[in-house]
Amino acid sequence: MVATGIYYALALVAGSFVVSYYTRPVFSIPLLVLAAFCLWFFRDPERVAPEGPHAVSPADGKVVAVKIERGRIRLSIFLSPLDVHVNRTPIAGVITAFEYRPGKFLVASREEASEQNEQNIVTVRGDDGVELVFKQIAGLVARRVVFWKKKGDKVAMGERIGLMQFGSRMDVLFGPEWDVLVNPGERVWAATTIIARRKA
């Protein structure tokens, strides 16, 4: 469980007591339902990444695009409010760059969201020297993307690196060293779904 969810839930429960005290107990029920939803939304299940020369999904969600873009393959994953929103690194290595880029809050499933929405852009250099870029992208509902690491940190494949709140998008940019293994419409799960494999 992410601590943020506990804070939200406690605030909503406190609000329900206030509403119940000044009105009728039945009017506090929506706040209690929202508190339960927050606890469920900010769940953080344990995941074990499979070993190998591959990249795992950085997020739970649905693949909405696999496109060639500026010489790289962009794989886009849309997270609905029902998905786990804790993000993980797709490969092991060192974080060589991190950039926060302010922007819009378009619906995260739209193509324009990849470039126009608020986002964190992260670059990880693997042990073999190959770099991989991925983006935490805010959406219409998710107005905050959180990155827990910093430049220079070493990360393991599938390690937790951040959080997106209430629906959003994750893009992964693959260079020519990779074969992408998933297609639009498929569901993926953070740390456990292999989304690309290094070419021999």
* Active site (catalytic) residues: 168
The residues, any chain, with a CB within 8 Å of residue 172's CB and separated by 6 or more, are: 55, 58, 74, 75, 77, 90, 132, 133, 134, 135, 195, 196
22: exposed, middle or buried (C-beta count within 10 Å: 0-12, 13-18, 19+)? exposed
Amino acid identity at 174:
F
Q: From CA 172, how far away is CA 66, in angstroms rounded?
A: 10
Which of 132, 134, 137, 111 lies closest to 177 in space, CA to CA? 132
Q: From CA 99, how far away is CA 20, in angstroms rounded?
A: 45
Amino acid identity at 45:
P
